[in-house]
């Protein structure tokens, strides 16, 4: 049986850390799923201004709960194809390309990513409030 795979969008992580969303409760509906982040998510989440050392420690610990996806040459080529359509900004294109490379579903509450259409791309919202 193939495990369900998810690629997290930054807004899902940020909303979870801000107690606006309960990602872990949402993921309880998908036992044994694999959940990934990539460099874009890490940068966007940790780039918060005035983050205290304690807050940064907690954020990094939370990010470490998830699997890491490296953006390789193949993924960058997919992102280039996506950017050429000008439908997504570069960070969103890299998240979408990562999900395509992984055959994963993007979890996003961002309409740009959630509503993006491509035959090999899947997305869904994460709407479980904290």
Q: For 30-48, what is the mean pLDDT?
A: 95
**Of 18, 21, 34, 27, whose CA–CA distance to 69 is shortest?**
34
For the chain, list the domains and their CATH numbers. Answer: 5-124 (3.40.50.1010)
Return all residues near 1 (Cβ < 8 A) that are at least 6 apart: none
pLDDT, one tens digit per residue, over 52-109 is: 999 999 999 999 999 999 999 999 999 999 999 887 999 999 999 999 999 999 999 9
Distance CA 100, CA 102 (A): 5
To 5 degrees, how large is the angle CA 63–CA 67–CA 73? Answer: 110
The predicted model scores a pTM of 0.92
């Amino acid at each position: 049986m193939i495990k369900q795979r998810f690629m997290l969008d930054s807004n899902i992580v940020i909303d979870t850390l801000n107690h606006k969303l309960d990602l872990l409760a949402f993921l309880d509906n998908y036992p044994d799923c694999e959940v990934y982040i990539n460099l874009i998510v890490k940068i966007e989440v940790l780039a918060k201004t005035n983050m205290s050392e304690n807050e940064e420690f907690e954020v990094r610990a939370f990010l470490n709960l998830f699997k890491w996806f490296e953006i390789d040459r193949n993924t960058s080529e997919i992102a280039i194809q996506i950017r050429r359509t000008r439908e997504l900004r570069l960070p969103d294109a890299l998240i979408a390309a990562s999900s395509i490379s992984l055959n994963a579903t993007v979890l996003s509450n961002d309409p740009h990513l959630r509503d993006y259409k491509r035959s090999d791309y899947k997305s869904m919202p994460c709407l479980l409030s904290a």
